Chain A
Amino acid sequence: MAADSELTPTKYIDHHLTHMTVQVSEGAFWTLHIDTLVTSILLGFLGIGFVWLVVRKATPGVPSRRQAFVELMIEFIDNEVKNTFHGNRHVFVAPTALTIFVWVILMNTMDIMPIDITAWVTENVFGLHYWKIVPTTDVNTTFALALSIWFLMIFFSVKVKGLGGWMHELFCTPFGKNPLLWILNLLFNFIEYVSKPLSHSLRLFGNIYAGEIIFLLLGMWAATGVAGAFFGAILGAGWAIFHILIVTLQAFIFMMLAVVYISMAHESH
């Protein structure tokens, strides 16, 4: 919690939802959410690094427990990709799916961390007044991921079908080749291309952000007294347990959508 002399609910929530920022250059755009960036990169190193360390010593013989765990995860993801993507998935799509899953699930999992304890630690141990530890409650993160996938989608569309093929798809699907329908097709595709990254990123952001807000509300309730602390703790525990499901599910959905979008870019209509 903040070391403010007077703590109101507004201040409490506001404090927890404020990013630590660094101004890179002039202008509102050139702000950097350093907390989001550092936490997410640390988590990425942690997750991908763990997988890498295990995989580096992977044996084709009897696997160790850690290797078996990593293999289980990777085979699960590989199976999902195999069912969706018809092509050589090992070159790019499957490793990308693995990256997304590992990274997003770790970033989401930060949501389960007790918010006020982590806030206390970042404030009193590291001396950081504002530090949001859940990178996926920052739209910048989810948009960054979704837009990267979006660009990959367009890249693969052009790469597989050629620029002409992609243009043909934009103008001639889904309604037909008739020139009268070109505008309609283009409009439809435009909406699709806009809605894909929006829904992709906002679904993840919304779920995790909502989870964060509920934790904050429960934390506020806990501040009201003994009864509030009691029920706040019980409900907080319940919500955290339920959140394990949401965290995993959202990471999985995000990964699957990325795979589906990239696969669709590979298939011509």
Chain B
Amino acid sequence: MNINFTLISQALAFSTFIWFTVKFVWPPLLKAIEERQKTIADGLAAGERGKHELELASQRSSEILKEAKQQAAEIIQQAEKRASEIVEESKKTAKEEGGRIISGAKAEIDHEIFSAKEALRQHAAELAIAGASKILRREVDAKAHADLLATIEEDLK
């Protein structure tokens, strides 16, 4: 346990080790640790940013959804309106068409009635003339009474 030259040698060794640590050991690890800290900080910031963006996006999506719903409601409303309009229009058209068909039918019926009446008259006149001819066969001169026959025929018409 005596102080001797070992002390100086140990002090030299000590200072060499300190120099080595200061120069070669401490800086790279410090750099690595600091870089990692930066990476972690960046990652946390990115996460925060992502969260914020997600919030914004969800807000935007809900807005878009709301708008779309509104638009859909409008479209449906318009469609309903249009449908009722179409129904009304077709009702009107059908009515008109019906009226036209009815009036056409009426005209035809009238025509039919008229021609039937005409035919009947013709027939009745012929029958009357035929009857009268039978009765008056002898006394009637067809030629002499032609005027008369024509008048009767005319009256019956």
Kindly provide the distance from the CB of A97 to the nearest chain B CB, expressed in whole angstroms: 9
Tell me the nearest residue of chain A to B1, going by C-beta.
A139
Task: Kindly list chain B residues whose C-beta atoms are within 8 Å of the C-beta of A141.
Answer: 6, 10
**A44 CB–B CB distance under 8 Å:** yes
Give 1 or 0 for each of A11-40: 1 = CB within 8 Å of chain B CB: 000000000000010001111110011001
Tell me the nearest residue of chain A to B34, going by C-beta.
A60
A29 touches B10 (CB 8 A): no
Spell out B's residues near A (CB within 8 Å).
1-11, 13-15, 17-18, 20-22, 24-33, 35-36, 38-39
Please measure, in the bound complex, the distance between the C-alpha atom of A210 and the C-alpha atom of B149, giving whole angstroms.
176
Tell me the total A-B contact number using a CB cutoff of 8 A.
Answer: 121
Binds B, one of A68-76, A109-117, A164-172: A68-76
A36 touches B6 (CB 8 A): yes
A48 touches B3 (CB 8 A): no
**A198 CB–B CB distance under 8 Å:** no
If A36-B6, A99-B21, A144-B10 are given as contacts, then 4 extra A-B residue pairs at C-beta distance below 8 Å, sorted by A number, are: A44-B13, A52-B25, A60-B31, A144-B14
Task: Kindly list chain B residues whose C-beta atoms are within 8 Å of the C-beta of A139.
Answer: 1-3
Tell me the nearest residue of chain B to A32, going by C-beta.
B5
B26 touches A29 (CB 8 A): no
Task: Kindly list chain A residues whose C-beta atoms are within 8 Å of the C-beta of B14.
Answer: 99, 103, 144-145, 148
B6 touches A31 (CB 8 A): yes
**A147 CB–B CB distance under 8 Å:** yes
Question: Which of B10, B29, B30 meets A70, CB within 8 Å?
Answer: B29
Task: Kindly list chain B residues whose C-beta atoms are within 8 Å of the C-beta of A63.
Answer: 32
**A41 CB–B CB distance under 8 Å:** yes
Tell me which of B4, B6, B28, B38 has the highest count of chain A C-beta atoms within 10 A of its own C-beta.
Answer: B6
B29 touches A55 (CB 8 A): yes
A144 touches B21 (CB 8 A): no
